Chain A
Amino acid sequence: SSSIVPLPAILRKFFYHFPLHTYPPIPPPQPYGAQATSPTLWISPPRQHFATDPSANVLSADVECLKWQAYLALRGVSEVALRWDVNPAGAPGARLPALQVPGISRSVLAAREIPTWVDAKLGRDDDGNEFEGYLDAKARDESRAWVALLEGAVHAALILHNGQPPSESAWTALLWSPIQSAPSSLAALLTPPPPPLSGLTSLLPPYGERISPSNIQLQYQTAIVSLSDRLGTDKWFLGSSGPTALDALIFAYLHTLLNAPGPLRIEVNKRANLVAWELRVRGIVQPAFHIASRS
């Protein structure tokens, strides 16, 4: 009717048989946790997430995710929701964990942005402290060495025991390891790098990786003994007055090791101070998290 050119009557009569209905707008589905007022941490699933009472275990089975959970809890952040139904490809950098912050923007932060967010939330800047929460510069520097130890020898032992059964025999290893076109994560972790299974000087093309489980086990045992000796009876590692980033990392590894296959768990269980320390810190970390609800 508002058209400049009037519609012919015959067409109007024809269109009468095809009325136009306008339906009300359909609102888009609510984003998961859109109404949440607490931050949501996307993590890898906990070890027993199929248990009858899934809320009982909110600690991720992945060391990296657990490290950041511990960091948040030890920095004093509480009431953090958890999700583990997110594909890592959907997180920033295609890696978990990621932190979805509440608010209008509902932005998702990568792991490296979490400390900055925590500083802003708590209104203080622990990492800006000259010693990063450690006792002094010497302790701060020593923390770097402990990080190297954990992310080296201990992590290698975790990867080894979570993968194929270790074997000292080259022939047995040949049965277990398929032809690997891409280097394994151990190749990028061990120094010096493992030689090929077929031999470095062999005329055969390089095949597989020759990992020495006994060497990895030896370094792992030494690392655990050293951790225990260094902790002693201190409340926090390196004698700090409060929890630090190193404590978060150590908790992540200890908790994972205590839920790992036999040889790894047994070695930690021999050290009563480490077991007691992990139990105490778990009591701080676990209550800070709850499973996000779909509302």
Chain B
Amino acid sequence: MTEVTLYVWPSPFLEPHSLAALLLLQLSIPGHFSIEETANPDTSPSGQLPYLRHGAVTVASFAAIAKYISRSKIAGHVDVDAHLDATQRAQCTAWSALVEAQLGDLVAYTFYAIADNYTNFTVPTLSAHMSIPQRYFVPGRLRELHRPRLEAVGLWDVSSFGGDGEGGDGDDEKGVRGVGVGGIAGGGVSGKGGGAKRKKNEGNMKMAFVREKVLETARRPLSLLSALLADRPFIFHDRATTLDILLAAHILLLTSPTLSSLSSQTNPQNLTLPCTPIHALISDSFPTLEAHARRVYDTCFPHGYAAAGLTKGKDEGRVGWNYDGEEGLSGDQDPSPPMA
């Protein structure tokens, strides 16, 4: 039987769709797939992770993977959305769009916009899985990819309010120097004299304003999702659906980003996120969401991730078919050769 191999970002995943795809496959085809952690999304047909290979078929993006798995005839396959009626499936689609858009922005903000997090967590995490010279420029490119969207939604404010006026928009590939939405990172202002004190007061005011703006932006979707979940174990009925999985993946990255229990290897750098304002918000105001995320994870890995028996598969090289979501196969060649 041809094995299903899921290619995801290395854990901690930093990207919710990779984690969501892993959770989905664990619920849908447990024991019938393997994972391959890769820091090279250029091997994917879409240039993004996650993607899935099943024999001659390559499927990229979480939506395409979910559709492919739901229609697959892999032994032991369970359709997680089978118990939903047409209206509930439609609602599932709509709510998934909200989760991906608004919670996705919060995840990107946490890992890329907050300077301390980017410098002390994101860059070392990514660099540890990349070779030279990619480790020196790929994290910065990823950050710049997220910037337009975060600017559009008002979650990007890389402003300089360092004590000596330095800092600015840090594009240093080796790490941003203490700026970004530093109001929450606690970027302090140091200086001498009355002018420095005034700057410090202005900086504190700006920090407080930025913090409140971010928390208000986060509170809106979290309130909606908390009301949707209410006091139920899962959103629809008593089983996890694709929406539960997607929501849990985002909440897990916001509350337990290191996911050391999900990683098959220890975290040698012992990295933690320095600044987690949204985690605090979820824990204080929306504990049901955190509990739901944990519940979904425990449903997928009741004995822990390491005990799940997921083994890393081997890259079998190029495949010739892409799945575009239609019945049958498109027959398009995978345009991107595997990177060395």
Which residues of A does B touch, CB under 8 Å? 137-138, 141-142, 144-146, 148-149, 152-153, 168-171, 183, 187-196, 199-203, 206, 210, 212, 214-215, 217-219, 221-223, 225-227, 229-230, 232
In angstroms, Cα B42 to Cα A72, docked, is 47
Instruction: Select one of A142, A193, A230 contacting B145, CB under 8 A.
Output: A193
Distance to closest chain B CB from A191 (angstroms): 4
Instruction: Select one of A188, A229, A232 contacting B148, CB under 8 A.
Output: A188
A200 x B335 contact (CB < 8 A)? no
The closest CB in chain A to the CB of B39 belongs to A201
Q: A148-B97, A148-B102 are in contact. Are A141 and B227 (CB under 8 A)?
A: yes
B324 x A218 contact (CB < 8 A)? yes
B227 x A152 contact (CB < 8 A)? no
A203 x B133 contact (CB < 8 A)? yes
Distance to closest chain A CB from B141 (angstroms): 6
A149 x B325 contact (CB < 8 A)? no
B325 x A189 contact (CB < 8 A)? no
A170 x B94 contact (CB < 8 A)? no
Given contacts A212-B47, A214-B330, 14 further A-B contacts (CB under 8 A): A145-B95, A146-B94, A190-B149, A193-B145, A193-B148, A194-B145, A195-B47, A195-B48, A196-B141, A199-B47, A199-B339, A222-B63, A223-B97, A230-B87
B89 x A201 contact (CB < 8 A)? no
Q: A141-B224, A200-B41 are in contact. Are A192 and B152 (CB under 8 A)?
A: no
Q: A141-B228, A168-B332, A193-B149 are in contact. Are A206 and B141 (CB under 8 A)?
A: yes
A191 x B100 contact (CB < 8 A)? yes
The 6 A-B residue pairs with the shortest CB-CB distance in the complex, in nearest-first order? A218-B325, A149-B97, A226-B90, A214-B324, A145-B94, A148-B98
Instruction: Select one of B60, B89, B134, B149 contacting A212, CB under 8 A.
Output: B60
Task: Indicate whether B211 reaches chain A with its CB closer than 8 angstroms.
Answer: no
Residues of B within 8 A of A168 (CB): 322, 332, 335
In angstroms, Cα B336 to Cα A152, docked, is 27
Most chain A CB within a 10 A radius of its CB, from B104, B145, B228: B145
Which residues of B does A touch, CB under 8 Å? 15, 17, 40-42, 45-48, 60-61, 63-64, 67, 86-87, 89-91, 93-95, 97-98, 100-102, 104-105, 108, 130, 133-134, 138, 141-142, 144-146, 148-149, 151-152, 224, 227-228, 322, 324-325, 330, 332, 335-336, 339
The closest CB in chain A to the CB of B16 belongs to A192
Q: A214-B330, A215-B61, A218-B325 are in contact. Are A170 and B146 (CB under 8 A)?
A: no
Distance to closest chain B CB from A193 (angstroms): 5
Instruction: Select one of B41, B93, B133, B142 contacting A226, CB under 8 A.
Output: B93
14 chain-A/chain-B pairs, Cβ below 8 angstroms: A138-B227, A149-B94, A153-B97, A169-B335, A188-B148, A188-B149, A191-B100, A202-B42, A210-B47, A212-B47, A215-B325, A218-B63, A218-B64, A226-B90
Residues of B within 8 A of A190 (CB): 149
Q: A137-B227, A201-B339, A214-B322 are in contact. Are A145 and B98 (CB under 8 A)?
A: yes
B101 x A148 contact (CB < 8 A)? yes
Residues of B within 8 A of A146 (CB): 94
The closest CB in chain A to the CB of B325 belongs to A218
A217 x B94 contact (CB < 8 A)? no
In angstroms, Cα B101 to Cα A190, docked, is 8
Residues of B within 8 A of A138 (CB): 227
In angstroms, Cα B151 to Cα A225, docked, is 31
In angstroms, Cα B63 to Cα A153, docked, is 11
Distance to closest chain A CB from B8 (angstroms): 13
In angstroms, Cα B324 to Cα A210, docked, is 16
In angstroms, Cα B105 to Cα A189, docked, is 11
Residues of A within 8 A of B100 (CB): 152, 191
Q: A201-B339, A218-B64 are in contact. Are A194 and B101 (CB under 8 A)?
A: no
In angstroms, Cα B145 to Cα A230, docked, is 34
In angstroms, Cα B91 to Cα A232, docked, is 13
In angstroms, Cα B142 to Cα A194, docked, is 10
B93 x A195 contact (CB < 8 A)? no
In angstroms, Cα B133 to Cα A226, docked, is 45
The closest CB in chain A to the CB of B134 belongs to A201
In angstroms, Cα B42 to Cα A201, docked, is 7
Residues of B within 8 A of A200 (CB): 41-42, 47, 138, 141-142, 145
In angstroms, Cα B228 to Cα A120, docked, is 33
A229 x B86 contact (CB < 8 A)? yes
The closest CB in chain B to the CB of A153 belongs to B97
The closest CB in chain A to the CB of B133 belongs to A203
B149 x A214 contact (CB < 8 A)? no
Instruction: Select one of B42, B145, B227 contacting A199, CB under 8 A.
Output: B42
In angstroms, Cα B91 to Cα A225, docked, is 11
B133 x A189 contact (CB < 8 A)? no
Distance to closest chain A CB from B61 (angstroms): 5
Residues of B within 8 A of A201 (CB): 40-42, 130, 134, 138, 339
In angstroms, Cα B15 to Cα A219, docked, is 19
Distance to closest chain A CB from B254 (angstroms): 15
Residues of B within 8 A of A191 (CB): 100-101, 104-105, 108, 149
A221 x B325 contact (CB < 8 A)? yes
Residues of B within 8 A of A229 (CB): 86-87, 89-90
A145 x B60 contact (CB < 8 A)? no
A193 x B86 contact (CB < 8 A)? no
Residues of A within 8 A of B336 (CB): 170, 199
